[in-house]
Chains A and B, each alone.
Chain A
Amino acid sequence: MKRNTRTITVPATLDHLEALTGMVTEHLSAHEIPEKVAFEVDLAVDEACTNVIRYAYGPGGEGDVTVMCSIDPHEVRVCIMDQGVPFNPLNVKPPDLTGDVEDRAIGGLGVHLIRTLMDRVSYHYRQGKNILCMTKGLPIHPKDEKSDNL
C-alpha cells in the first residue's frame, strides 16, 4: 500500500523546532494515530531534530533540516535529514542510569529516549547527508487503544 507522506524543510535553528514537531503531530492526528504512539513519535522527532539544530552545522554554521513522516496501516516512519557533519547517533554510548544525583551526567538522554521508544532506528550517511530513520509500529486496532491503561 502507498505510504501517506508529508515532508518539511526549514533552517536548522531552535525557533523552527515547533514547525518540525508540529508537522509530525498534525500528520499523526489527521490519521487518528493513538495518542500514546503520537506522544512517543513526537518526542523522538523532537530529540533527533534538537540534536541536528544544536550540533550538525557547528558553532555559527547554517543549514537546513528535513523531516519526512510516512504513515501506513502498520507503522509510522520518520526520517530526519541534514547536510551537516557526519554523525551517527547510534554510536552514542548508552547513559549510565545507575548513579546518584551527584554522579549523573547532564545530557546524553535524547538518543537513549529515541532508542527506547522507537521500534527500529537506522542511520545512513549518503551523498553528503545524515539520514536518521525511526519506525514505530501501530497497534492492530489503533482507534481502540487510547492509553496505557487499556
Chain B
Amino acid sequence: MSTILQVEEQRQGNIPVLLLRGRMDSTTSPEAEGQLNRLIGEGAQHIVIDFSDLEYISSAGLRVLLAAQKRMKQTGGTVLLAALRPEIRKVFDIAGFNRLFSISPSIEEALGTGQGR
C-alpha cells in the first residue's frame, strides 16, 4: 500500500491534467492543494484530474477538491474528474460530490467535456 501521493502535471492542448498517484489523506493532500492552487492562479479555465492511479481518498482530499471547485466556479471554470476506482467513486457518492463535479469514466471523455464548454 502506498503511503505517499505523487502529483504529475501533463497538458492536453491548453488543458492541464493532474495525475494523482497513491494516497490522498490529511498528510498528503496539501501537495495536491498546492498544485491546484497554482493552476487556478495561472488562470486555467478547466483542470482535469486523472484518478486512475489514486488508491485512496479521505475527507481531507475531498476538502481540497471542493475548495478548488469553489475557486474555479468564481472564474467560470471547472474541475473535471476522470477514471475513479469503484471504492473511491463510492466515497464521492456518499459525500454527495457526484452533484458537484463532472465525473467521467476516462480522461478522453473528461477532455471532451472540457473542450465542449
Interface class of chain B by DSSP: helix
- Given the interface contacts A42-B56, A102-B73, does A109 sit within 8 Å of B25 by beta carbon? no
Chain A 34-47 interface mask (CB, 8 Å, partner B; 1/0):
01100110110011
User: What are the residues of chain B within 8 A of A109 when measuring CB–CB?
Assistant: 59, 62-63, 95
Docked CA distance A95–B58 (Å): 16
Docked CA distance A116–B60 (Å): 17
**Does B109 make an interface contact (CB < 8 A)?**
no
**Does A50 make an interface contact (CB < 8 A)?**
yes
B87 touches A39 (CB 8 A): yes
Give the contact-size bracket for chain A. Answer: 35 or more
User: What are the residues of chain B within 8 A of A36 when measuring CB–CB?
Assistant: 87
User: What are the residues of chain B within 8 A of A53 when measuring CB–CB?
Assistant: 26
Taking a contact as CB atoms closer than 8 A, the residue among A39, A50, A101, A117 that contacts B94 in the complex is: A117
Interface residues, chain B, CB within 8 Å of chain A? 1, 3, 25-27, 56, 58-60, 62-63, 66-67, 69-70, 73, 86-87, 90-91, 94-96, 99-100
Could you jot down 21 A-B contacts, CB within 8 Å? Answer: A14-B27, A17-B26, A22-B1, A39-B56, A42-B56, A43-B58, A46-B25, A46-B58, A50-B25, A50-B60, A100-B99, A107-B59, A107-B63, A109-B59, A110-B59, A113-B59, A113-B91, A147-B86, A148-B87, A148-B90, A149-B86
